[in-house]
Amino acid sequence: MAERYDPGAVESKWQKHWEDTGLNRVDIDGAENPFYNLMMYPYPSAEGLHVGNVYAFTGADIHGRYKRLQGLDVFEPIGFDAFGIHSENFALERGTHPMELIPSNIKNFTRQLKRMGFMYDWDRVVDVTRPEYYKWTQWIFLTLYKAGMAERRKAPVNWCPSCKTVLANEQVIDGRCERCSTEVTQRYLDQWFFKITDYAQRLLDNLEWIDWSDSTKRLQRNWIGRSEGADIDFQIAGHPDKKLRVFTTRPDTLFGATFMVLAPEHPYIAEITGAKQRKQVDEYVRNALAMDLVERKKAGEEGRKSGVDTGAKAINPATNQEISIWVADYVLMEYGHGAIMAVPAHDERDFEFAREYDLPIRVVVIPADQYDAFDPQAELQAAFTEHTEDEVLVNSEKFDGVPAAQAIKQITAWLEQEGRGQGAVNYRIHDWCISRQRYWGPPIPVIHCEQCGIVPVPEEDLPVVLPYVEQFRPDESGVGPLARAKEFYEVDCPQCAGPAKRETDVSDTFLDSAWYFMRYPSTDVHDKPFHPARTKKWLPVDMYIGGEEHAVLHLMYSRYISMALHDLGHLPFEEPYEKFRKHGLIVREGAKMSKSRGNVVIPDEFVEQYGADTFRTYLMFLGPYEEGGDFREQGIAGISRFFDRVWDAVANGALEAGPPETNELTQKLHATIKKVTEDLAGLQYNTAIAAMMEYLNQVRAGGRAARRSEVEPLVVLLAPFAPHMAEELWQHLGHEGSIFSGANWPRYDAQLAVADEVDIAVQVNGRFRATIRAPRGASEDEVKQKALAEEAVQRHMNGKKIKKTIFVPDRLINLLVA
RNA sequence: GCCCGGGUGGCGGAAUCGGCAGACGCGUCGGACUCAAAAUCCGAUGGGCUUCGGCCCUUGAGGGUUCGAGUCCCUCCCCGGGCACCA
């Protein structure tokens, strides 16, 4: 065995060994203690593995190896998220066809991932672009479609003029495309939707019990955006058959509703607009519809509210007064009913609008302590009540004086009684638009027949194979590149055999990733998407680790797909990930890494120079895993030196038998095992590494040679971080085979993990004056006697009497004197 | 605007059931080894004052609770993230 640690030699030796012996393959059918350790699979870019990938995977791999050393049968698979706009755009840029580009990217990724020493089961790789995979993606679409969970409808959609495709709401960031940052515009197109809104409440409720990072749950809650309130029907004057329905979170302010506003898309506009106003209203609506979402938003941000009076009147059901109905673009058709009751006294937007058009304002909620002094004749001003705790109603007839929180309930009940409304809940989340007018995705498996309408492709005809199309560049037409491939879309109707046209949209790549983890245990099964017994054994996922940028996209969609498939009897669970932990982001020298800054860390370079183990461990040492860290090249030397010392202690040590040489060392060993065990369970890798360094420093203090009992447990503790080196040292210690099958995670004795003697801080009047050493568990008297014997303590007591003593066992004594 | 997370030495970061702030590492300085350098090893390393015994200050700012506050409460500032005309 080499005197000095040579990572290159050690790592290639063990990587070959793992591959030859199939060490990382799990017994998928026979495993007795299954643990499914999942990480978010990467998009295989042409640039190769990003250091962010390595960071994410390393943290997850450490968790998997730790679980394995604890005796679990760990399944740790990997795959490639290779469909989608990202890949397609890159292919366009390069002028390479994605069908050529992607396989070579995957090959390169595979090489890099293997070089990092991750514990992947390479026999169960998922590549979503393979027909044997997307056959089942299409099957999921059909399954949901047949269950009425998918539908095609014309809808205003976010359109990226640069990517020339529809984007889901989740893919629009600040009004821009998340991929290319082009401003998103609005289009009306026929689109396929999954009705995720039907699951909004369940997606919200289950967050109560799944074990996820709190911040991720919060993001999902905000995205689902539940609002409680009431639907209220307003009669329209002159249209006894028509009711205008609105949603409000503040039914208690009903008496303050002094006008109504419809979204420009609202279906009633044409009907109710008065003859005099028609021309103006038409023009306003036309302009509003022509403006895209971004322009509308901008106008709103600048505080300009525009609108137009329809001339029609509605009846406020509470006051029975006629109020005018307006059209304005600050009301959104997608939310609620596309119409609002405007309460300008208590809503900032309505207030702005009322001021702009000189509409009446009526205060109906005021702070409780001003109730007695309230003067209904006084000039009405906006009150903008936010919370309903200490506020009461005024100007509201029989509800005057009622606290707002109660009034919400009372007025809702009154509306229900009168048949004019009822309690209602609204969600901000929209249905999931899965259509993409692009090339690089799984074709949506339906056929449009003039006779039969929409006909699902029969299951036995799956997969609908994505054809090789030379010209895969999208255009302005609003239909995908497949719409130019006659041989693809010209088909016979499966029902009537008449001429029909295949759907030419492909599905969103988030549908691929919504279920990839269900496929891993069943990659060798071809007659089902997922093998029932294996699915039962391995799923739901025991631990999922990934980036929080996917909190509202991938993580929401995959929860939805699991629930839907569960409800349709295909899955025995409804939540796919029992435990999810986000990892942090890594920056370099305090700055975000980006190609344009030219500060991207290229893993290959560091791995070559320092070895995978050192690189892995350094990444984990940068900071708390769940928060990320700052990559500074200089710091890697610290880990490198640490590993050299570990190597030296084991490879060049005398390694005598017997217990640790001193009680202090025994204590430190047990304390270290305890600390590392607990830190690994909580993904606190940075402090686990620090603890191991501290321990090794103590083992080697004064240049002494280590005993076997001192270093063997350390080698096992290090194995999740530095698997190659651990293997080599394990072998050197005389063991046969792999440390990951031969070793047990070290156990600690809680009694031994604490010292017999402790340092106790001594305070006089709350200021630290001395430290004394005392046996663990020493009594207050004992400690006080020792403390009083200290010269520094006596000096600061200055001959005064002790009035009070505060004693914290084993930590501190505080003598209060006067 | 709303909802989160954060602000600690030259740097990355430790320490929050309130109990000796700065673990571990980087860097820097000094020493050993060397002809020399690298590597390695040993020591020092928050700031100020010092009669060399110590003393005082210090966790974004200010206030409060407490014997005791990085940690709890209030007000504010700054940085990062999410949502945003959602009724």
Residues A473-495: tens digit of each pLDDT: 877 777 788 999 999 999 999 99
Whether A296 shows a pLDDT value over 70: the answer reads no
Q: What is the mean pLDDT of residues A141-166?
A: 87
Q: What is the mean pLDDT of residues A497-525?
A: 96
Question: Tell me, in Å, how far CA of A533 is from C1' of B81?
Answer: 41
Which residue has its C-alpha nearest to nucleotide B67's C1'? A766
Cβ of residue A697 lies below 7 Å from strand B:
yes
Under 8 Å between Cβ of A220 and A582: no
Q: Is A183 exposed, middle or buried (0-12, 13-18, 19+ CB in 10 A)?
A: middle
Whether A387 shows a pLDDT value over 60: the answer reads no
* Token pair of A782 as six digits: 């004992």
Cβ of residue A388 lies below 7 Å from strand B:
no
Taking CA atoms, A46 is separated from A83, A88, A598, in Å, by 13, 11, 17
Q: What is the mean pLDDT of residues A704-712?
A: 92
Cβ of residue A287 lies below 7 Å from strand B:
no
Question: What's the angle, vertex CA A578, arms to CA A574 and CA A582, rounded to 5?
Answer: 125
Q: What is the mean pLDDT of residues A15-30?
A: 96
Which ranges constitute the DSSP H helices of A225-315? 269-272, 278-290, 293-301
Return the pLDDT at A380. Answer: 60
Return the pLDDT at A388. Answer: 54
Contacts 24+ apart (CB under 8 A), A566-570: A568/A143, A568/A144, A568/A147, A570/A143, A570/A529
pLDDT band at A58 (very low <50, low <70, confident <90, very high): very high
Cβ of residue A621 lies below 7 Å from strand B:
yes
Cβ of residue A223 lies below 7 Å from strand B:
yes
Return the pLDDT at A554. Answer: 95
What does R_g of chain A's alpha carbons equal in angstroms? 34
Helix, strand, coil % (nearest 5) of chain A? 40, 20, 40
Pick out the nucleotide with least CA–C1' distance to A648.
Answer: B40
Pick out the nucleotide with least CA–C1' distance to A644.
Answer: B40
Which residue has its C-alpha nearest to nucleotide B40's C1'? A641
Closest CA to A741 of A732, A730, A757: A730
Return the pLDDT at A468. Answer: 95
Per-residue pLDDT tens digits for A619-648: 999 999 999 999 999 999 999 999 999 999
Per-residue pLDDT tens digits for A253-293: 999 999 999 999 999 999 999 999 999 999 999 888 777 65
Question: Tell me, in Å, how far CA of A809 is from C1' of B17?
Answer: 15
Please report the ipTM that was assigned to this predicted complex: 0.96
Cβ of residue A591 lies below 7 Å from strand B:
no
Under 8 Å between Cβ of A670 and A753: yes
Return the pLDDT at A379. Answer: 60
Question: Tell me, in Å, how far CA of A228 is from C1' of B64?
Answer: 38
Cβ of residue A300 lies below 7 Å from strand B:
yes
Whether A167 shows a pLDDT value over 90: the answer reads no
Question: Tell me, in Å, how far CA of A668 is from C1' of B33?
Answer: 32
Return the pLDDT at A565. Answer: 98
Whether A716 shows a pLDDT value over 90: the answer reads yes
Handedness of CA A125, A128, A131, A132 (dihedral sign): positive
**Beta strand segments in A717-783, E:** 757-764, 767-775
Question: Tell me, in Å, how far CA of A730 is from C1' of B40?
Answer: 25
d(CA A377, CA A360): 14
Cβ of residue A632 lies below 7 Å from strand B:
yes
Cβ of residue A340 lies below 7 Å from strand B:
yes
Residues 633-662 of A with CB under 7 A from strand B: 634-635, 637-639, 641-642, 644-645
Question: Tell me, in Å, how far CA of A512 is from C1' of B77?
Answer: 46
Cβ of residue A122 lies below 7 Å from strand B:
no
Return the pLDDT at A389. Answer: 62
d(CA A278, CA A272): 9
Return the pLDDT at A294. Answer: 54
Per-residue pLDDT tens digits for A107-130: 999 999 999 999 999 999 999 999
Residues 536-555 of A with CB under 7 A from strand B: 548, 552
Question: Tell me, in Å, how far CA of A678 is from C1' of B70?
Answer: 24
Per-residue pLDDT tens digits for A319-372: 999 999 999 999 998 899 999 999 998 888 898 899 899 999 998 988 887 788
Return the pLDDT at A473. Answer: 83
- Predicted TM-score (pTM) of the model is 0.93
Q: What is the mean pLDDT of residues A550-563?
A: 95
Under 8 Å between Cβ of A562 and A571: yes
Under 8 Å between Cβ of A54 and A631: no
Question: Tell me, in Å, how far CA of A61 is from C1' of B48?
Answer: 48
Return the pLDDT at A295. Answer: 61
Average pLDDT, chain A: 91
Identify which has the larger pLDDT, A808 or A157: A808
Identify which has the larger pLDDT, A526 or A4: A526
pLDDT band at A78 (very low <50, low <70, confident <90, very high): very high
DSSP for A296-317, written as a single string: HHHHHHTT---EEEEEEEEE-T
DSSP for A140-158, written as a single string: HHHHHHHTT-EEEEEEEEE
The b-or-e profile of A203-239 (16+ CB within 10 A means b, else e) is bbebbeebebbeebbebbeebbeeeebbbbbbbbeee
Cβ of residue A768 lies below 7 Å from strand B:
yes
